[in-house]
Amino acid sequence: MIKPTKYLDYCLVVLFFFSFTKNSVAQSEKDTLHLPEFEIKSNYIFDNLGFKRVKLDSVTLIPHLNSDLSTILSEYSTIFIKSYGNGTLATPSFRGTTAQHTQVEWNGINLNSPMLGQIDLSLVPVSQFDGIEILYGAAGLSRTSGAFGGVINLVTTQDWNNITDLMVAQTIGSFDNYTTNVNVALGNRFFQSHTKLIYSSGLNDFPYYNDYLAKYVNQQNASFKIYGISQEFFWRLKDKHLFNAKIWYSQADRNLPPTTSNSDTNAFEKLSDKSLRAVIEYKYIESGLNLMVHSAISDQEMKYNSLLTTGNHQPNTWINRIRFSYNRIRNLSLKSGIDFNYDWVYSDSYSGMKTRSTFSLFAEINYEFNKKIKSSLVIRDDNIDGKFMPIIPAIGLEYKPFNKINFVLTANAARNYRYPTLNELYWEISGNPDLKPETNYITELGSIYNYTSGNKRLFLEVTLSVYYSWIYDMIIWTPVEGNSSLWKPENVRQVNARGFEVGTNINWQIMGFDLGLKVNYTFCHSTNEKSLIPNTNIVGKQLIYVPVNNLNSTASVERWKFYFKYNFLFIGKRFTSSDNSYYMPAYSLSNIIFGKNIGLNNFILSLQVQINNLFNIDYQSVASRPMPGINYAFTLKLSFKKGIN
């Protein structure tokens, strides 16, 4: 296959030049905090200028206070979650890429470990954030490089009209699972304080059928305890100066259950994760001009213990980000930024402390040719440990062909790089300091149709995205020739990922009922196109644990303060061997949530019943890792809210 480097670079240069062929005239636009009507209901962010971004708001998250991030993404997005079981490892596969190609952020803090290049999504409780923004493909270049699949941004927000907002929730679930949530928000128009606490525990001793033993057994050594507390402060001075400071501490102590093929009842594995993340931020907001200065620290510790080995790892990151935007020129907006990150890691598996410094320059130019055509150019350059990487460009186009119909066509193209993780470079004996960065080229076409009836009672949204991604010099851990017990990372593969995503979002108010339907379907063909490993039959084969077909849908009904949600999830078969000779069968799951809100003055008492795996399906997301059958959760929540009149 022809490498598209020259073709994409040529297109980017031509489009960049053409975007400045019109004269620009000065104008003044007044900033506002109000959202357009369609954004309240829409999942798709229209102001994307050719790049796909989707948001999930607090309305979606609130019924899932006892869940983690992996549950939300699997039920409401096109991202496939590779889960090892309740309370254990859960990682994303975004558009046919690996977990290292997805970056997860919390208020601008990169949650991915600099050692692994990924994060365990089961350690991120839903209660610690207010919304999710998902940036697909090249849309994430304004934040970082290396996220070939995309960026998942977890955001917390403030309500300047809030005086008191209190919430206490207790969830009791099957298999001795318990979750307690406490949220306290206090403040006025100029100062807000938010405190969030969570405690979750469970024995997780669910029964399952073990094919190796040919009988039903209970899951062993699967208990967990998760603690978390976050504190956020927001200050506002004269509407132009915004300050915030946030800190989040979490700890997870987990027993790792054995695989179904492991019959040793004395075997045990324990994993303890501790993390402290803190950020301070200043924003200056003026008509047509914004400035943001952000500094954060991430301190993590992971301890592993088993009968065979122990390990202690302490990755740390200092994160600094400056963003400036200027839009006082008619039809033109300019954004620029500087990032500086410093990683330092102590690990039993490294020979001494390992460090990495990353300095990045970022610029974005958005130009509106007319009311129908808009363009966006993003340029990013990274300097890693004093060495400049090739420039990373991306361009997006947006075309609205009709004046009275909310229909938009989008297109974008980009180049991207992922630098090797510290484990890939420095892991004892196996690390490879000669690794090259992975290179990615991606093109994408999309469309969004959005309709709101005249009486605002019916809302319809349909989205379609088609993408093609090339990954060169992909890093794979492979056995060393002559020593099959030793594995080493190498740049050995070329991967092509192509597919399409379809989304539908319907909200309808009729006869006092609020009806909703959300459907996401993704088709992803992600294959090995070239391998430097001899005697392997993997060319043209689907990547392991990347399903070709993935579907989720949620139907909801609300009336008389009762609410009901039915979620359906279909995951196609996943290959477990690189030559596609072995696979895990497809499965489908049904989950329901039924609840009632009882209001009394400023108090709301909420009663909720949740049934997961409604039809008691016997399935595994990962080979030899059992998942629970039908299980239940009951939540009692009491809220109090008082705002400024």
pLDDT single digits (tens) 257-308? 999 988 676 778 999 999 999 999 999 999 999 999 999 999 999 999 998 8
Instruction: For residue 264, count other CB atoms closer than 10 A to its CB.
Output: 8
How much is the average pLDDT of 336-349? Answer: 97
CA–CA separation, 55 vs 426, rounded Å?
37
Instruction: For residue 171, count other CB atoms closer than 10 A to its CB.
Output: 20
| Helical spans, DSSP H, in 385-515 | 422-426
What are the extents of the domains in the chain? Answer: 5-643
Given a contact cutoff of 8 angstroms between Cβ atoms, the answer to whether 605 and 170 are in contact is: no
Res. 37 pLDDT band, cuts 50 70 90:
very low
CA–CA separation, 327 vs 323, rounded Å?
14
Whether the predicted pLDDT of 644 surpasses 90: no
CA–CA separation, 51 vs 340, rounded Å?
25
Q: What is the pLDDT of residues 39-86, one digit of tens each?
A: 334 555 545 589 999 999 999 999 999 999 999 999 999 999 999 988
pLDDT the model gives residue 252 = 97
Instruction: For residue 585, count other CB atoms closer than 10 A to its CB.
Output: 10
pLDDT the model gives residue 481 = 74
Higher pLDDT pick, 20 / 242:
242
Whether the predicted pLDDT of 585 surpasses 60: yes
Whether the predicted pLDDT of 237 surpasses 50: yes
Output the CATH code of domain 5-643: 2.40.170.20
Indicate the SS3 state at residue 70.
Answer: helix
Beta strand spans in 189-306 (E): 191-202, 207-210, 215-218, 224-237, 241-255, 269-286, 289-306
- Note the maximum CA span of the chain: 76
Closest listed residue to residue 51, CA positions, set 153, 147, 141, 155: 141
pLDDT the model gives residue 2 = 40
pLDDT the model gives residue 479 = 83
Q: Which two tokens stand for residue 255?
A: 């027993």
Instruction: Tell me the β-bridge partners of 133.
Output: 55, 153
| Residue indicated by tokens 């500086």 | 340
Higher pLDDT pick, 14 / 335:
335
Res. 24 pLDDT band, cuts 50 70 90:
very low
